[in-house]
């Protein structure tokens, strides 16, 4: 077997050509609609105002603006809660309604990617049950987690390709009293932010022109079923996914290049469970240190749960060994919320992050000490029993 050198693989990834063959292969929406006509499944259609965006091989993808069912991320809710609240806050500020469901389950991709012991029909049924729940509300699903998004794209490929799997899933769903439902488009939250970047920038209150940014594109967003990811000719010449970079540029930030942009953040699913030192070393030595040496960013922006967690929370170990680390890491949703005037603690909840974010806030013109004092005042009300929790009235 011939081994392809890493350098050759990287050269191959530097440039690709769009062609009719790719567009024909990467059109899952048409296949879903065809199967619906045959009675194989039910397609939840996009409704209302939409934004059309370009994908990697040329297919146009439609992003629904409002009336969205938020498929939340277990890792965001558990480790980076400001990630999810920033998504909700921005949507509220733009005036779009949404549904925050209580009957959503995990996508179970942890089982699939980390252990490789999953049952295909069970995996697909979990995805379909979530989509059936979304359809019952009338709201269109918007997926927060890049891994859920990538996993669901693979589930879709399997369902489209294997009639016997569709039969199994229909039988499972029948026991639940639900149909085999799949949305017309699988939409990741970062695609919504990219599609809405002009509306977000219109409500921007903070100047980001002096903020240096590096972007880590999430593997599970654009490397799994790659033709579904957004690529814009005006961003990287259409040669890399545009979602995070396009938003950061629209907000006026100084987006900078670095050589290891294609590398994984280090999370790797299996690695984070069984080789955590490898994960931390890769995250800091292949990503953070290279960014600092080549681009000197004020903040690293990314768009997946595992990427934010790994790039942020791996730095403490390298710092103990005097490595060249120490840069804030957050999602572009948190970055956009800050640009629009969101509270760094009540909304973005940056106190859950490990790397020092305070120099970034100062550069953005945010008095983090005053903001922290305001946050503490809110907590005192909770401690005294004056409130059960902070709500949107407390942060707007």
**What pLDDT, in 10s, does the model give residues 85-100?**
999 999 999 999 999 9
369 shares its domain with 224: yes
Domain tally for the chain?
Answer: 2
In a domain, residue 37? The reply is yes
DSSP per-residue letters across 324-380: S---EEEEHHHHHHHHTT--TTTTS-GGG--S--HHHHHHTT--HHHHHHHHHHHHH
Are 182 and 268 members of one domain? no
Task: With 0.85 as the threshold, say if the pTM is over it.
Answer: yes
pLDDT number for residue 6: 64
Q: Between these two residues, 172 and 11, which has the higher pLDDT value?
A: 172
Residue 391 in domain:
no
- Residue 72: which CATH number? 1.20.1050.140
Res. 74 pLDDT band, cuts 50 70 90: confident
Residue 338 lies in a domain: yes
* Cα angle: 305, vertex 353, 112; to 5 degrees: 20
Same domain, 170 and 284: no
Please check the confidence at residue 120 and state whether its pLDDT lies above 70: yes
Domain that holds residue 87: 33-188
Q: Give residues with Cβ within 8 angstroms of 331, minimum separation 6.
A: 80, 83, 86, 301, 302, 303, 308
Lowest-pLDDT choice from 95-109, 161-175, 203-217 = 95-109
User: 51 falls in which pLDDT band (50, 70, 90)?
Assistant: very high
One domain, residues 259 and 183: no
Is 127 found in the same domain as 237?
Answer: no
- What mean pLDDT is predicted for residues 228-256? 96
72 pLDDT exceeds 60? yes
Check whether residue 285 and residue 322 sit in a common domain.
yes
Question: Which residues, other chains included, contact 322 with Cβ-Cβ below 8 Å and sequence gap of 6+?
Answer: none
160 and 234 co-located in one domain: no
Does the residue 167 lie in any domain? yes
**Helix 163-175 / helix 146-161 crossing angle, nearest 10 deg:** 110
Q: Is residue 396 part of a domain?
A: no
Q: Quickly state the pLDDT bin for 58 (edges 50, 70, 90).
A: confident
Q: Are residues 73 and 182 in the same domain?
A: yes
Domain boundary at 138, 158, 188, which? 188
Residues 248-275 have a mean pLDDT of 90
Q: What is the pLDDT of residue 24?
A: 47
């Amino acid at each position: 077997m011939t081994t392809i050198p890493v350098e050759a693989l990287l050269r191959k990834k530097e440039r690709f050509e769009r062609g009719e063959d790719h567009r024909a292969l990467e059109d899952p929406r048409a296949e879903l609609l065809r199967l619906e006509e045959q009675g194989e499944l039910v397609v939840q259609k996009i409704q209302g105002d939409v934004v059309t965006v370009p994908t990697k091989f040329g297919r146009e993808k439609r992003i629904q603006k409002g009336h969205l069912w938020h498929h939340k991320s277990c890792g965001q809710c558990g480790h980076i809660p400001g990630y999810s609240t920033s998504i909700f806050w921005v949507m509220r500020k733009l005036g779009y309604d949404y549904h925050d469901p209580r009957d959503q389950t995990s996508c179970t991709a942890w089982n699939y990617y980390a252990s490789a012991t999953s049952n295909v029909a069970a995996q697909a049924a979990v995805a379909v049950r979530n989509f059936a729940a979304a359809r019952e509300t009338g709201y269109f699903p918007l997926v927060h987690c890049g891994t859920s998004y990538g996993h669901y794209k693979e589930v879709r490929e399997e369902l489209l390709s294997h009639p016997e799997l569709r039969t199994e899933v229909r039988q499972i769903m029948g026991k639940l009293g639900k149909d085999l439902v799949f949305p017309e488009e699988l939409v990741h939250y970062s695609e919504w932010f990219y599609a809405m970047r002009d509306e977000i920038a219109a409500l921007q209150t903070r100047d980001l022109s002096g903020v240096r940014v590096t972007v880590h594109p999430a593997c599970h967003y654009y490397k799994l079923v790659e033709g579904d990811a957004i690529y814009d000719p005006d961003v990287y010449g259409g040669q890399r996914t545009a979602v995070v970079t396009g938003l950061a540029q629209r907000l006026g930030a100084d987006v900078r290049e670095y050589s290891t942009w294609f590398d994984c953040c280090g999370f790797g699913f299996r690695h984070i469970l069984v080789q955590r030192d490898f994960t931390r070393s890769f995250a800091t030595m292949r990503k953070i240190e290279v960014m600092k040496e080549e681009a000197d960013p004020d903040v690293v922006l990314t768009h997946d749960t595992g990427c934010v967690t790994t790039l942020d929370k791996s730095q403490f170990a390298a710092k103990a060994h005097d490595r060249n680390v120490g840069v804030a890491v957050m999602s572009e949703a948190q970055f956009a919320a800050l640009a629009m005037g969101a509270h760094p603690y009540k909304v973005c909840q940056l106190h859950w992050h490990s790397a020092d974010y305070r120099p970034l806030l100062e550069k953005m013109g945010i008095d983090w000490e005053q903001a922290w004092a305001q946050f503490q005042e809110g907590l005192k009300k909770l401690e005294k029993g004056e409130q059960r929790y902070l709500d949107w009235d407390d942060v707007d």
